[in-house]
Amino acid sequence: SKGKHMENLPVEVALDSEEKVAPISTFDDAGLHPVILENIKLAQYSLPTPIQRYTIPAVLQGKDVVAIAQTGSGKTAAYMIPTLSKLMGKAKKLRGPRPGASSPKVRAEPLVVIVVPTRELAMQIFDEARRMCYRSMLRPCVTYGGRPYADTMDDLAQGCEILIATPGRLTDLMDKPHVLTMSRVKYTIIDEADEMLNTDWSEALAEIMGGGDTNDDADHVYMMFSATFPKGARQMAREYMSQSYVRIRIGRA
């Protein structure tokens, strides 16, 4: 099974922060919301992968996280599961007004923004988000360069708590009037950070990490996921993330 294969990954964990995070050994003892636990079961994930064992409790504790692990190690669920779990616990409080209710012209007020380098990845992460949001109040949306704007506008108009986007498309939407506000974003997640810095998305990433000037929430959580942790990514972590961010490295990345 997939789970078995995962257990054979080399495990070399470096927690470089002062703060210790106790890894979970099963999904059931992680303290996750019952709805997400049910969705984990539906996905047939029987045991957390190594990166998930450390990342899930760190995110549940509200920490900023940099997680470095090879492709195929389960990084998507490592951020998706704890982030959605936390929001499910507060869904009533956090769910935005229906589009148009408070600010008539703004279509989407996401709580989570997940930034990925390619359209293929965006669609893949959207699938995982849909599976994990099943039977919850949380509504994922996806957009990327090349997707018709009209389709994105229609999706956003239905309401969007979880936005998955490529950096260029996301900054386009941020720059358009009345489409998207970043002011309610609590979680900013950069996936494949190394890839994105390679393709020189650094300017777009800076705008996204900065929240488009509208978000100065001290509780804002930042996460970066990557196969490697090059200089540019370390710089970004230093600049935007809490000083006590937790760095988790699995294997010999």
Select 83 or 181, whichever has its Cβ closest to Mg ion.
83
* Binding partner of residue 77 among ligand ADP, Mg ion, none, CB cut-off 5 to 8 Å per kind: ligand ADP
Site string for ligand ADP, 18-47 (x = CB under 6 A): ---------------------------x-x
φ/ψ of residue 184, rounded to 5: -100, 0
Residue 148 token pair: 């018709």
Q: Which of the ranges 74-82, 107-115, 144-152, 211-219 carries the binding residues for ligand ADP, by CB under 6 A?
A: 74-82
Q: What is the pairing mode between strands 14-15 and 187-190?
A: unpaired
Residue nearest to Mg ion (CB): 75
* Binding partner of residue 181 among Mg ion, ligand ADP, none, CB cut-off 5 to 8 Å per kind: none
- Min dist. Cβ of residue 126 to ligand ADP (A): 12
Q: How is the beta sheet containing 246-249 ordered, strand by strand?
A: 14-15, 246-249, 65-68, 221-226, 187-190, 112-115, 162-165, 140-143
**Sequence-distant (≥ 6) Cβ neighbours of residue 240 within 8 angstroms:** 209, 210, 222
Residue type at 45 in one-letter notation:
Y
Chain residues in the site for Mg ion (CB under 5 A): 75
* Binding partner of residue 3 among ligand ADP, Mg ion, none, CB cut-off 5 to 8 Å per kind: ligand ADP
